[in-house]
Amino acid sequence: MTAALLLCAYALLITRLAPLALRRADRAPRLAVTAWYAAVVTVGSSLIAAAALLVATPEHSWERLCALVRLCVEALQGAHDWIGVLLAALALAGAAIVSFRIGVAAVGTLGASMRGRLRQARLAATAGRRLPGTGATVVDHDVATAYLVPGRHATIVVTSAAVEALTGRELAAVIAHEQGHHSGRHHLLVDGMRVLTRAFPRSRFLAVAHAQVALLVEICADESAARRHSRIDLARALVTMAEAQALPTVLAASGGDALTRIKRLLSPPVPLGRGTRAGLTAALAAMASAPVAVAGLALAWPLLMDCPAPFV
């Protein structure tokens, strides 16, 4: 029981601490994406392990917690099994509901994405023409924009207006950014978060994780473009395209992300050192494996000790 409570507290702590700890995480964007996923996995496995412990050790926990009301418990000796059955039923129902929600969200989100992406890729293939010297497809349109249609039929689409509005170097930087998305398989990272936020729409923690991962993959793509192109070209392209697409009816939502990217492109932060990065990776691994370790220990403890500690 105590271990289960500890795990719940741990999950709560991470949902509170992760957004604070990862606010200035853009010095290592790729590690930050890993950190967000590690945090989500940790919270999820903590809650699952806590539920499992409650169900797996009902007698032990019940008897120990109710040491003071042992008489009462003994009076209900026969009821232990009944409580165990009830807890097991609750846990099974909980597991079924959670898997059902994730399943429905996955089918809904990914199905719609795949259909949309397939249609986009097909349309780009029919209506677009190759941009010589690049892997991009140009489509005639008077709004300057560029995007990657991710997936098996991956296509980088640039509008004719974008080709006109940008200089050759800026355009090359934009295409490199989208190529960065493609080679990093960023759509999978974003898709994962989209499924989770859709499955648990009331979770503030998941909403923040989703928004942050979406921003961080843009930063990763910017970085991969900046390796071969100048940052100022990428920044200029970003501003030009933002202006071209701006609409008064759009709610202020994505502008903050774009401003973060611009500031980062213009004055890049010092990347984290190799040592710091390795240390953080180890800490993440420890954080993510803690719940399973605690649950394992709590289950194994009575077997390991003849006289188990009173609080396990």
Partner 1 sequence: MERLWSAGEWRTVREVLTELLQQRQIAYTTVMTVLDNLHKKGWLRRESSGKAHRYTPVMTREEYGAAQMRHALDASGDPAVALLKFVNQMSPEEAAGLRAALDAHERRNGR
238 binds partner 1 (CB under 8 A): yes
> Using CB atoms within 10 A of its CB, is residue 66 exposed (0-12), middle (13-18) or buried (19+)?
middle
Binding segment (CB under 8 A) for partner 1, from list 32-40, 70-78, 106-114, 291-299 = 106-114
186 binds partner 1 (CB under 8 A): yes
37 binds partner 1 (CB under 8 A): no
220 binds partner 1 (CB under 8 A): no
Q: Which is nearer to partner 1, 247 or 304 (CB)?
A: 247
Binding segment (CB under 8 A) for partner 1, from list 24-32, 55-63, 92-100, 170-178 = 170-178
Cβ–Cβ under 8 Å, residues 25 and 39: no
Min dist. Cβ of residue 175 to partner 1 (A)? 9
107 binds partner 1 (CB under 8 A): no
Min dist. Cβ of residue 38 to partner 1 (A)? 23
Which one among 69, 79, 85, 266 touches partner 1, defined by CB under 8 A? 266
118 binds partner 1 (CB under 8 A): no
CA gap 182, 160 in Å, rounded = 21
Q: Which is nearer to partner 1, 123 or 299 (CB)?
A: 123
Q: Is 203 helix (H, G, I), strand (E, B) or coil?
A: coil
The residues pairing with 149 across neighbouring beta strands, listed in sequence order, are: 155
**Which residue, chain included where needed, has tokens 């990347």?**
271
Element (H, E) at 147: strand 146-149
Residue 119: phi and psi, rounded to 5, are -65, -40
> Using CB atoms within 10 A of its CB, is residue 246 exposed (0-12), middle (13-18) or buried (19+)?
exposed
The residues pairing with 139 across neighbouring beta strands, listed in sequence order, are: 159
**Residue 25: partners with Cβ closer than 8 Å, 6 or more residues away:** 31, 32, 35, 212, 216
34 binds partner 1 (CB under 8 A): no
Binding mask 120-149 for partner 1 (x = CB under 8 A): x--xx-xxx----------xxxxx-xxxxx
Q: Which is nearer to partner 1, 175 or 287 (CB)?
A: 175
